Amino acid sequence: MIAVYPGSFDPITLGHIDIIERGCKLFENVIVAVLRNPSKTPLFTVDQRLNQIRDSINHLANVEVVSFDGLAVNYAKMRQAQVLIRGLRVLSDFEKELQMAHTNKTLSSEIETVFLATSNEYSFLSSSVVKEIAIFGGSVDHLVPQHIAIDIYKCYDKTKLV
């Protein structure tokens, strides 16, 4: 079975990587799909994010990293995937995620959303939290792979690079 894991990944965090690793054990192939979203101003370009993700998952054999436009269910169908993976961290994620899963079901009844519970140690973690810490000069070394922490410090705090 093929699963698509869609998201913004601006940037990918250890929490996302945990979901990808666990998805890889459940599905034959996992396609990590970065949304090309013209309505958002991201920290990293789509191409930077694709490279960051590829450099973070090279220990996994059955993952592909791509970008996509438009509806996630349409992209999943185009790739003959049956599943969308989403991570659930805390109860407050549930409302938005359930609404999205139901919306996707109305758009395409054959695509199932599978929720994976984020590991406890990453239940507080999001790309926004990482950026907020970095903006205020904190260390994100424990939240993202080292090569991404370096990319983030290049944006916010070059003193952390020495």
Restricted to residues 105-124, the positions that interact with ligand PNS (CB under 6 A) are none
Residue 86 annotated among the catalytic residues of the structure: no
- Of 32, 63, 62, nearest to 50 (Cα)? 32
Contact 6, 35 (CB under 8 A): yes
Q: Which of 17, 72, 85, 143 binds ligand PNS (CB under 6 A)?
A: 72
Closest separation between CB of residue 58 and ligand PNS, Å? 21
C-alpha angle 21-137-147 in degrees, rounded to nearest 5: 35
Shortest Å, Cβ 42 to ligand PNS: 10
**Binder to ligand PNS among 13, 52, 104, 118 (CB under 6 A)?**
104
- In the bound state with ligand PNS, the residue whose beta carbon lies nearer, of 88 and 157, is 88
Q: Is 130 in the site for ligand PNS (CB under 6 A)?
A: no
Q: What is the rounded distance in angstroms from the CA atom of residue 160 to the CA atom of residue 158?
A: 5
Contact 115, 144 (CB under 8 A): no
Task: Check if the beta carbon of residue 127 is closer than 8 Å to that of residue 106.
Answer: no
89 included as an active-site residue: yes
User: From the list 50, 71, 114, 133, which residue makes contact with ligand PNS (rule: CB under 6 A)?
Assistant: 71
Measured CA to CA, the distance from residue 111 to residue 106 in angstroms comes to 10
Interface with ligand PNS (CB under 6 A): 6-8, 35, 71-72, 100, 103-104
